[in-house]
Chain A
Amino acid sequence: MEKTRPLWATPLQFVFACISYAVGLGNVWRFPYLCQMYGGGSFLVPYIIMLVVEGMPLLYLELAVGQRMRQGSIGAWRTVSPYLSGVGVASVVVSFFLCMYYNVVNAWAFWYLFHSFQDPLPWSVCPLNGNRTGYIEECEKASSTQYFWYRKTLNISPSIQESGAVQWEPALCLILAWLVVYLCILRGTESTGRVVYFTALLPYCVLIIYLVRGLTLHGATNGLAYMFTPKGSPMLSPLAFQMEQLANPKAWINAATQIFFSLGLGFGSLIAFASYNEPSNNCQKHAIIVSIINSSTSIFASIVTFSIYGFKATFNYESCLNKVILLLTNSFDLEDGFLTANNLEQVKDYLASAYPSKYSEVFPQIKNCSLETELETAVQGTGLAFIVYTEAIKNMEVSQLWSVLYFFMLLLLGIGSMLGNTAAILTPLTDSKVISSYLPKEAISGLVCLANCAIGMLFTMEAGSYWFDIFNDYAATLSLLLIVLAETVAVCYLYGLSRFESDLKAMTGRALNWYWKAMWGGVSPLLIISLFIFYLSDYISTGTLRYQAWDAAQGQLVTKDYPPHALAVIGLLVAASTMCIPLGALGTLITRRLKRGDTAPVA
C-alpha cells in the first residue's frame, strides 16, 4: 500500500506558507535601502514593472511545476527530463548554504530580544571604563548601538584572517534558533501548516503597530518626505532627479534583482510547498496573490522604515544643535536658555564680530549640523536592522516594549523563511525511497538541523560576521540566476510549452493565458540572461573583492581586501551549486550510455 503524500489541510495554509517564506528579512532591510538609493518614489516604477514581467510569471512557473510533479525539486526536474536532475541537486545545495547562514540572523534576533527586557536597554548607554571616570573608548568613538553590535554581540575581530574562538552566547542562541525551526518542521506539513498562520500574520500586526507609532514620532515626516522626494544633487530639482533615476540602468537591474531574490525563486522551496497541494489547486491565483502581497509588504515596510529614519535623523540633528548651543553658551558665558535653534545663526554672527579672537578659538569645535547628511546615511542589511533601528528605538518612550515587538517581528519573518528553506532540503530527502525507508521523517529533519547547526557555529566565531557577509553576497546570487534560467528553458523547450499547458489544463481545469506563455517563452529568460551578464561583468570589472572590517581603535568600518583563502571559498560556493547542473546532465548521459551498452542485443 503506497503512502499518500501529505497535503496542506486547506489551500489557505499553502498561501500562508508561501507568504511567510517570501516575506522575509529582505523586505525590511533591503528594499528601503534600494528605494533611497534610486530615487525614492520613482523606484516604484521599475519595481512594479519587474514584478509583473518577471516576478509573477516565474513564481507561477515554479508553483505549477511543483503542483504538477508532486515531488521535491530533485524528483520534479528529473521527471521533466532525466538530464535535469542536476538542477534539482543545485537547488538543494543552494538551499543548504542558505540554511547554514540564514539562521544565524535568527540567533542574533533572539540575542537582542532577550536583552530587551532590561532597563535601560543595554545598547542605549556606553559601559563605564575600568576606573569609572568615563566610558569605554571604543564606545565613545563609535556609538553605543554600534558598540553593542560589534563588541557585545559579535565580538568582532579586526579582520577575516583572525578567526578567534566560538562565542558561547551567540552559539547558545543559534542552538535555540535551530531547535525552534526543528519544532516547526518536525511533523512536516502538519506542523508547518499550523505555524505559518502565525509567521504569516503576526508580522503584519507588528508592522501596523509600528506604522502608527512611526508616523506619530517627532520628525517622521522628514523621513517620509525624503523617501518620496530625495534631494539628490543640488543642481537638480527633486522631480528631475527622480526622472533621471528612471533612466539609470542600475535602478532597473536592482529592481529586477530585488524581485527575483525577494520571492525566493530557484531554491526549490516553492516547488516543495506546491508539491503538497491538491492537483486541482488554482495556483495561478495564488501566484498572483503571493507576489502582490510580497511587494506590498516591501513598500509598507519601507514606509515604516523611513518614518523611523526621519525620527532618528531629526533626533541626531537636534542633539548636534544642542551640543553646539552648549559649547557656545559655556565658552561665552551666555545666559542659559538664551541660545535656541532659531537664533543660533544670528548669535553666531554677533559673537564672531564682537569677540573675534575668542570665536576663532572655539570655531573648530563647532560642528555643522545638517538634517540632510543625517538622512542620507543609507544602510542596508544587518546594519539597518541591528544598529539603525535600535538607535531609533532607544530614543522612543517605553523603549523595551518597542524593542521586544521589533525583534519578535524579525524572528517571525526569519523563521517563516527558514521553514521554506528547510522544506527545500527535506522534501527531496523524504521523497527519496532510499532514505525514507531507513529513517522516519523526524529523524531526517533532526539530522539536517543538527548538521546545519554544527556548521553554523562557524558564524558565531569572532570573524563569523565576515563569513556571513561572504555567504550572503555570493552563495546564492549567481547560482540562482542560472538555476531559474535552466528551469524556464527546461519547461518551455525541453518538456515543451504545449505539453505543460495541456498538463495544467488537465490538472486545474483552466486554460493557460497567452500572457504566461509569452513571459515564460521569451521575456523572462531574456531578463535573466541580461541580469546574469550584468552580474558577471560587475564581478569581473571590480577586480579584487573587498569587505568592510570593524576597526576598534577608530570606532568605524574600514575597507580591506579578501585574503586568498576567502576568495577560494567564494569560488567554491559558486562552483558547488552551478557545477551540479552540467555534472548532473553528464552523469545521466554516462549512465544511459552504460545501460545501453549493457542491454545491447547480443549478436
Chain B
Amino acid sequence: MTWMDPREVFLRNLHPAFYSTCNNLHCTWDSFECIGLHGQDAENAFKVRLSIRTALGDKAYAWDANEEYLFKAMVAFSMRKVPNRETTEISHVLLCNVTQRVSFWFVVTDPSRNHTLPAVEVQSAIRMNRNRINNAFFLNDQTLEFLRIPSTLAPPTDPSVPIWIIIFGVIFCIVLVATMLLIISGIRQHRRKNKGPSEMEDSEDKCENVITIENGIPCDPLDMKGGHINDAFVTEDERLTPL
C-alpha cells in the first residue's frame, strides 16, 4: 500500500472534486497551500474549463500567466460590481491547479486573506458579467465553462405576431381574391351565354316568316343579312378580260 500524505487523504475525502485535480497531476506543497487556504471553504471554489482550440481553431492563443492575470482581473471586476465588495483587488483572486485542458480552480478571498467569499456572491457576480468575461477571451458559454454556475440561456426572440401567421394571411388573401375573380367571371360568362342564344332565336324567327313554301317544301330562304357574293362565278379580276 503506497503511503499517502494524511493531509492529502483528508482533503480527498473532504471534497470529491479534488480527487480529479490531484489524481494525475502530482499535488505540490504550493497547491496544497492554495487548497489549504480554502480547504475549510471547499464549497467556495469553482472549477473553470476553457476550450480555446475548439472555439478558435487556428487562431487559438496559448494559455499563459498573462491570460491568467486577465482572468483574475475579470473576476475581480465582476466582484467589484457587487455591493459591499467594491474593494476587491486582483490579488484577492487565487487560481490553482491549472491543467493542460485548460482547467483550473479559482477562489476569491476577502481583503484580510483569511476567509473566502461565499459561493452565492461569486456565482451571482459571475452570472451578471458572464458576457463580458466571455468576450474578453473570445469565447462563449460553451467554451468557457464555470462548473456549478449555470448560464442564463438567451430567450428566443418572440415577435409580437408570429411570422407564420403573416405569411399565411398574405397567401390566403391572394388565393381568396383569385378564387372570387374566377367565380365572378364564370358567372358573367354564364349570363352572357344565356342572353346570346335567346337573341339568336329571335332573329331566326323573323327569317322564318319570310320563307316561301312551294308544294309544302320550303325554299332555301334568301340570306336577309346582306348579299354574299358567290366567289365561284364572279371575281374582280375576271370583270375585264385579259388582253
Residues of A within 8 A of B (CB): 1, 110-111, 114-115, 117-118, 125, 127-128, 132-134, 172-173, 176, 179-180, 182-183, 186-187, 191, 329-337, 355, 358, 440, 442
Q: Please measure, in the bound complex, the distance between the C-alpha atom of A355 and the C-alpha atom of B153, giving whole angstroms.
A: 36
**B176 interface neighbour in A117, A172, A173, A179, Cβ under 8 Å:** A179
Which residues in A have their C-beta under 8 angstroms from that of B99?
Answer: 333
B59 at the interface (CB under 8 A from A): no
Is the Cβ of B101 less than 8 Å from the Cβ of A329?
yes
Given contacts A179-B172, A336-B52, contact A358 B183 (CB under 8 A): no
Q: Please measure, in the bound complex, the distance between the C-alpha atom of A114 and the C-alpha atom of B161, giving whole angstroms.
A: 13
Which residues in A have their C-beta under 8 angstroms from that of B155?
Answer: 128, 132
B9 at the interface (CB under 8 A from A): no
Which chain B residue shows the least CB distance to A331?
B20
Q: Please measure, in the bound complex, the distance between the C-alpha atom of A452 and the C-alpha atom of B137, giving whole angstroms.
A: 61
Which residues in B have their C-beta under 8 angstroms from that of A442?
Answer: 183, 186
B168 at the interface (CB under 8 A from A): yes
CB A588 to nearest CB in B, in angstroms, measures: 36
Q: A117-B164, A127-B156 are in contact. List 14 more A-B contacts (CB 8 A).
A: A110-B168, A111-B164, A114-B163, A128-B156, A133-B152, A179-B176, A183-B179, A186-B186, A191-B182, A333-B20, A334-B100, A336-B54, A336-B101, A355-B23
**A117 interface neighbour in B52, B153, B167, Cβ under 8 Å:** B167
Is the Cβ of A183 less than 8 Å from the Cβ of B182?
yes
Given contacts A173-B168, A335-B101, contact A179 B175 (CB under 8 A): yes
Q: List 5 A-B contacts (CB under 8 A).
A: A172-B168, A186-B186, A335-B100, A336-B53, A355-B23
Q: Is the interface of B mostly helix, strand, loop or mixed?
A: helix
Which chain A residue shows the least CB distance to B98?
A333
CB A199 to nearest CB in B, in angstroms, measures: 15
CB B61 to nearest CB in A, in angstroms, measures: 12
Given contacts A125-B156, A333-B103, A336-B50, contact A182 B168 (CB under 8 A): no
Is the Cβ of A132 less than 8 Å from the Cβ of B152?
yes
Q: Please measure, in the bound complex, the distance between the C-alpha atom of A210 and the C-alpha atom of B108, giving whole angstroms.
A: 56
Which 9 A-B residue pairs are closest in the complex by CB-CB distance?
A: A337-B53, A114-B164, A333-B99, A335-B100, A333-B101, A336-B53, A114-B167, A183-B179, A336-B51
Which chain B residue shows the least CB distance to A173?
B168
Residue-wise interface mask of B (162-182) relative to A, using a CB-CB cutoff of 8 A (1 in contact, 0 not): 011101100110011011001
Which residues in B have their C-beta under 8 angstroms from that of A183?
Answer: 175, 178-179, 182
Q: Please measure, in the bound complex, the distance between the C-alpha atom of A5 and the C-alpha atom of B103, giving whole angstroms.
A: 82
Is the Cβ of B50 less than 8 Å from the Cβ of A333?
no
Q: Could you say which interface size class chain B belongs to?
A: 35 or more
Q: Please measure, in the bound complex, the distance between the C-alpha atom of A329 and the C-alpha atom of B49, giving whole angstroms.
A: 11
Q: Please measure, in the bound complex, the distance between the C-alpha atom of A183 and the C-alpha atom of B180, giving whole angstroms.
A: 9
CB A553 to nearest CB in B, in angstroms, measures: 23
Is the Cβ of B168 less than 8 Å from the Cβ of A128?
no
CB A50 to nearest CB in B, in angstroms, measures: 39
**A337 interface neighbour in B49, B54, B165, B167, Cβ under 8 Å:** B54
Which residues in A have their C-beta under 8 angstroms from that of B171?
Answer: 176
B115 at the interface (CB under 8 A from A): no
Which residues in A have their C-beta under 8 angstroms from that of B23?
Answer: 355, 358
Q: Please measure, in the bound complex, the distance between the C-alpha atom of A176 and the C-alpha atom of B24, giving whole angstroms.
A: 65
Which residues in B have their C-beta under 8 angstroms from that of A355?
Answer: 23-24
Given contacts A173-B168, A333-B100, A333-B101, contact A117 B175 (CB under 8 A): no
Q: Please measure, in the bound complex, the distance between the C-alpha atom of A191 and the C-alpha atom of B183, giving whole angstroms.
A: 12
CB B219 to nearest CB in A, in angstroms, measures: 25
Q: Please measure, in the bound complex, the distance between the C-alpha atom of A485 and the C-alpha atom of B183, giving whole angstroms.
A: 40
Is the Cβ of B179 less than 8 Å from the Cβ of A186?
yes
CB B52 to nearest CB in A, in angstroms, measures: 6
